[in-house]
Structure 1
Amino acid sequence: MAQRSIPQALRPSLQALAFILEQSGVQASAQQVHQLWTYHQWLRRHNVELNLTRVHNFHNMVRKLYLDSILPGLMIPLPSPLLDLGTGPGMPGIPLKIFHPGLELVLGESRQHRVRFLHEVCEALGLEKVFIEGRRIGPSYDRPVRGVITRAVESMAETMERIEGCLEKGGRLIFMKGPHCDHELERAVRLFNGRFALMEDRAYLIPGTPHRRRLVVFVRLSERAALVRQAASAAGRHKRIASFDNVDFKMLQRALTPKGIRKEGLCLVSGAKVIRDVLKFQPNLVRAWISVAGGPAPPSACREHVTWLELERPLFEALDIFGTGHPLLHVQVPAIPSWTPADGLSLGCTLFVPFQDPENVGAVVRTAAAFGVTAVVLLKESAHPFHPKAVRASAGAVFRLRMFFGPSASDLPTTLPMIALSQDGRPLNQVNFPESFGLLAGLEGPGLPEPWRRRAVAIPMAPSMESLNAATATAVALYEWRRRIG
C-alpha cells in the first residue's frame, strides 16, 4: 500500500508526530506519543536559551532526532543498565526510554546547563529508573553497566578507552555512526583486539529521508578495571604509587637509562602495538602493567605473576617519555649472549651494529627483521637495544630477533667475510654477496675503522649529498641483498 504523505498545511502537533512514527513503521502507544510530544515541546521551549540542538524544523526534528534515536531499539536488543554517553539534551537515551519503559538508563553529560535540563525534563515525563551522571565519563568511572550507546562525534577508539571502567565483560558498546566510518572502525578493531570484538555492523536509512547511518556493535571481552583491581589487590599484585620517592617508582625510572637496564635487566615498553606483541609472543617476560591511576586494567593476556602499578598522573607522565598516554610494560630483558670472531658467521647475513643513537639501533633491528637477517651482533660502541627509544623504533623487533653482544668495531678481524659500508667504497651493485657474510656500517660521524674503510662498499647517490644516515644505508644494502636472493 502506498504511504500517505503529510499535508503541507498540517502544523506541528501531537497528531503529526504520531503520523510520522506510524509512516516510519514505529508502533507507538498513545502514552508514548504523548511523552515524545512533551519532550519535543521542552526542547523547543529551552533551545534558544540552552542551545540544545541545531535542528529546528519540526519534521527534521522528528526524523533526524527522535526517530533516529528510537531505531537502534528496533534493530537490536537493548542491554540494561544502558549508559547514553554524551547524551546532550537526552538523545538517544530519552526516546529509547520512552519506547522501552523497563530500561534502566544512565544519561552521561558533563555540561551543567544540559544536566539541569535533563533533570527537569525527566521529571516532567515521569521517567523512572533514570540516573543522570553530570560529569565527564572517563576510564576511572566505575558504575557498572551492561551497555553503552553513543551518537557522539569522538572516535570509536576514544570511546572504548573512556568506558573501560564501567562496561561489564560481555556488555555491548553501541555506536550510532554515519556511513563513512570504515577507517575509524578498522582502527578500533586493531587497537582493542582482545578487549573488544566486533559483533555487528549494520547499514540503514532513517525512514522518510535519504540519510544513511551505521549501527556498529562491539562486545566487551575483558573485565572491568574495578574487578581486576580487586582481584589483583587480594593476590598482592596491585600497588598505587603517589610519590616520586617511592622505591618502586625509582626502579621504573632506572629502566629508562642504559645503566639501569644493564644493571637490573629490566626495561620499559611503550606503544599499544608493541605492547600487544610482547603480551602475545613473550608474556613470560612481563613483570608489571603500568597505568595512570584509574586507567585501563591489565588485559587477560597478562599472566598471574604480573603486578598492576597505578601511578598518579605526574609520575606516569615522567615515565611515558613519548607521551602515548597508553599503559606501559615493565619487562625483563631477554638474555643476550656474547659473540666472538671465533664463533664464525651463520648462513645468511649477520648484521653488525655500532650505532650509538638508540633510535638508529631500533630502526636497523626492525629493518633486519624485515629482510630476514640471521642474527644481529651489537658491537661495543652500540647503544643498548632495550633502551626505550630503541624498543619503540624497532616496533618490537628487538624481542623477536637473535641478538648478541660483540667486540668493538676496531677489534673485528679483517679475515671475516664482511661487507662494510662507506661513501669511499666501490658501488654496491658490483658486490657479490657470499652465502654467509657480515654487514657492517660505520659509526654515526666517525664512520668505519681504517682497515675496513679501505675495502668498503658505497651506496650510489647524488653528488650533492655527502652521506646517508647510517641506518638508511644499512637498509638499502639489506634490500639489495634480499632482492638478489629472492
Structure 2
Amino acid sequence: MAQRSMTPSVKPSPQALASILEKSGVRANAQQVHQLWIYHRWLRKHNVELNLTRVHNFDNMVRKLYLDSILPGLMVSLPSPLMDLGTGPGMPGIPLKIFNPDLEVVLAESRQHRVRFLEDVCAALGLSGVSIEGRRIGPSYDRPVRGVITRAVESMAETMERIEGCLEKGGLLIFMKGPHCDDELDRAVRRFEGRFALKEDRHYVIPGTPHRRRLVVFVRQSERAALVRQAASASGRHKRMASFDNAAFKRLQKALTPRGIRKEGLCLVSGAKVVRDVLASRPNLVQAWISVAGGPPPPSACGEHVTWLELDKNLFETLDLFGTGHPLLSVQVPPILYWTPENGLGPGCTLFVPFQDPENVGAVLRTAAAFGVTAVVLLKESAHPFHPKAVRASAGAAFRLRLFFGPSVADLPTTLPMIALSQDGCPLHEAIFPETFGLLAGLEGPGLPEPWRRQAVAIPMVPGVESLNAATATAVALYEWRRRAVNPARG
C-alpha cells in the first residue's frame, strides 16, 4: 500500500506551495514560487495525455517531486553545467534551475513526447541557461559537463558507463537513490575503482513525509575519452581497427593460442580486477589498452608507452573470450627461463605443474601465490601459463610468480627431494615436508608415472570417489605445508 503524506491535503495554490516548502525548511522568493507554480500547472495539464507522473495529490507533488528535487542543491555544491540524466518531465533539473538561477542545466531525455513537453515548459517558465538533449546519452556522447545528477532507476554502474564520455575529470556524479542501495553501491565502487571515487553517501528524509532517501556522490578521477583520444592521436598512440584483415589485429588474435603466445610474445588480459592488478604490478609489460569503439579510454595507470586500440564491436568480441565487455590489455609475456634438474631447488617449495587444462594451470598458480611457493616449474605437458584462460583463472598471479619451463614429467629424476600426489600414496598427514622440496601433482586423468606413485602421498577421501581435481589436490597439499610452516608445533 502506498504511503500517504504526513500532512493533510490543502487546496492547491501558490501560497499553499510556498507554505509547504517553508515548513520543510526551504524558503522561496516570489519569483521562485511563481515559476514553480507555473511548472506545477503544466504538469497537471499534460499529465493525463503524456503520463508524466503517477503522483497526483497536491501535497505529495510538492514534497515528493519539487521538494525532493530541490534538496540535493541544499546538500551539495552543484557544479555547472549540470546534466539531469533521464529527466523525464524535468526533475530534478527544472526545480533545481528555479532555485539556482545561475546554474547551467542540460535536460537529457530520449522520449520525444517528453522532449516536446520540456521545450514548451522551459519556454513558458522563461528559463535561460537550459538546454535539452533529446536523445539517449551513451559513452560516445562527448559534450563536456561538470556534473551529472539522476533519479533514474538504472544501476549506478550502468549510469557510470553512460556518462564516461561527457563528465569531466573532477566532476560530480550525483545519485538520488532509495535507502537500500548498499549492494549496488559496493558493485559500482569495485568496478570503477580508479575511474570514480565515492565522495559522499548521505541518508536523509523528505521533510513532512516518512520517505527516506539517499544522496550518493562520486567524483570523476579519469579524463574524458575525447581528451585522451585527442592526446593519444597526436602522439601516434591511438589506433582504430575495423577489419579482421588488419595485421595488428591478427597479431592480437594469435595471442589467444599457446603457439601464438610463444611466437608473438604477447598475452591478453581480461576482467576488470585482473586488468587493474596487472596495471599496478607490471605496468612496464603493458603494450596496449584494447577497448570497443567508444569504450572507456586508458586510465592514468597506463604509461605513455601504452597504445589505445579501439576495435569495432565484432573485432573486440572476438578477443573478449569471456564476454566481460571490459577493456583488455595486450601484455608482453615476461621471460620464462628453462629449469633442469641440474639447477636444483631453492629453499621452500618448488611446484611442478604438468596440467594440460589452462584453467587448472591458472587455478594452481593462484594457489601457489597465496601459499608462498618459491618457484613454479611448468613441465612439458603443461598448458601455457599466459593462455587467456590461465591468466584469468590465476587472477593475475602468473605475473607475480617465478616461473620456469621444465622437462616432461617422465624425465624428472626420482632422486629429487619431491613430494608427489597420488591416490596410491600414504596419507598426507604422514608426509614430512623438508625445508627444500618439490611438490608434484599428476596429469589430469592418467596421474603420475609409476616410479613416482611408489613414493607419493594421498589426500584422504570418502570411499567410492575416484579422485580430486588436480588443481584442488595441489591446493590441499600446499595448505597442509603452509599450515605446518606457520604452526610447526601442530605438525
TM-score calculated relative to the size of structure 2: 0.95
Cα displacement string for residues 427-450 of structure 1 (whole angstroms, at most 9, x for unaligned residues): 111111111111111111111111
Cα displacement string for residues 367-418 of structure 1 (whole angstroms, at most 9, x for unaligned residues): 1111111111100000000000000000000011111101100000001111
Q: How does 1:146-295 map to 2 (within 5 A)?
A: 146-295=146-295
Provide the aligned C-alpha RMSD in A: 1.5
For 1:24, the equivalent position in structure 2 comes to 24
Helix, strand or coil at the partner of 1:302: coil
State how far apart, in whole Å, the 2-side matches of 1:431 and 1:106 are.
70
Moved more, 384-393 or 416-425: 416-425
Residues 38/381 of structure 1: CA separation in 2 closer, same or farther (3 Å cut): same
Cα displacement string for residues 343-370 of structure 1 (whole angstroms, at most 9, x for unaligned residues): 1111111111101110000000001111
For 1:35, the equivalent position in structure 2 comes to 35
Q: Does 1:374 align with 2:374?
A: yes
Cα displacement string for residues 180-232 of structure 1 (whole angstroms, at most 9, x for unaligned residues): 22333233222222222222222222111122222222221211110110000
For 2:109, the equivalent position in structure 1 comes to 109
Moved more, 447-456 or 279-288: 447-456
Contact 2:70 / 2:92 at 8 angstroms: preserved in 1?
A: yes
Cα displacement string for residues 35-62 of structure 1 (whole angstroms, at most 9, x for unaligned residues): 2122222222222332222222221121
Residues 11/386 of structure 1: CA separation in 2 closer, same or farther (3 Å cut): same
State how far apart, in whole Å, the 2-side matches of 1:17 and 1:6 are.
16
The number of equivalent residue pairs is 482
Counterpart amino acid of residue 409 in structure 1: V
For 1:54, the equivalent position in structure 2 comes to 54
For 1:75, the equivalent position in structure 2 comes to 75
For 2:489, the equivalent position in structure 1 comes to none
Contact 2:9 / 2:57 at 8 angstroms: preserved in 1?
A: no
Gaps of 5+ in 1: none
Counterpart amino acid of residue 230 in structure 1: Q
Helix, strand or coil at the partner of 2:423: strand
Gaps of 5+ in 2: 487-491
State how far apart, in whole Å, the 2-side matches of 1:422 and 1:52 are.
69
State how far apart, in whole Å, the 2-side matches of 1:275 and 1:87 are.
35
Contact 2:17 / 2:62 at 8 angstroms: preserved in 1?
A: yes
State how far apart, in whole Å, the 1-side matches of 2:9 and 2:280 are.
65
State how far apart, in whole Å, the 2-side matches of 1:411 and 1:355 are.
16
Residues 375/10 of structure 1: CA separation in 2 closer, same or farther (3 Å cut): same
Q: Which runs of at least 4 in structure 1 moved beyond 4 Å after TM superposition?
A: 5-9
Moved more, 207-216 or 465-474: 207-216
1:6 CA displacement: 9.9
Helix, strand or coil at the partner of 1:422: strand
1:14 CA displacement: 2.0
Helix, strand or coil at the partner of 1:83: strand
For 2:128, the equivalent position in structure 1 comes to 128
Q: Does 1:465 align with 2:447?
A: no
Residues 89/336 of structure 1: CA separation in 2 closer, same or farther (3 Å cut): same
1:298 CA displacement: 0.5
For 1:384, the equivalent position in structure 2 comes to 384
State how far apart, in whole Å, the 2-side matches of 1:113 and 1:419 are.
73
1:112 CA displacement: 2.2
1:129 CA displacement: 1.8
State how far apart, in whole Å, the 2-side matches of 1:154 and 1:242 are.
31
Cα displacement string for residues 244-269 of structure 1 (whole angstroms, at most 9, x for unaligned residues): 11111111111111111001110110
Q: Does 1:434 align with 2:434?
A: yes
TM-score calculated relative to the size of structure 1: 0.96
State how far apart, in whole Å, the 2-side matches of 1:199 and 1:70 are.
20
Counterpart amino acid of residue 276 in structure 1: R
State how far apart, in whole Å, the 2-side matches of 1:346 and 1:404 are.
13
For 1:485, the equivalent position in structure 2 comes to 485
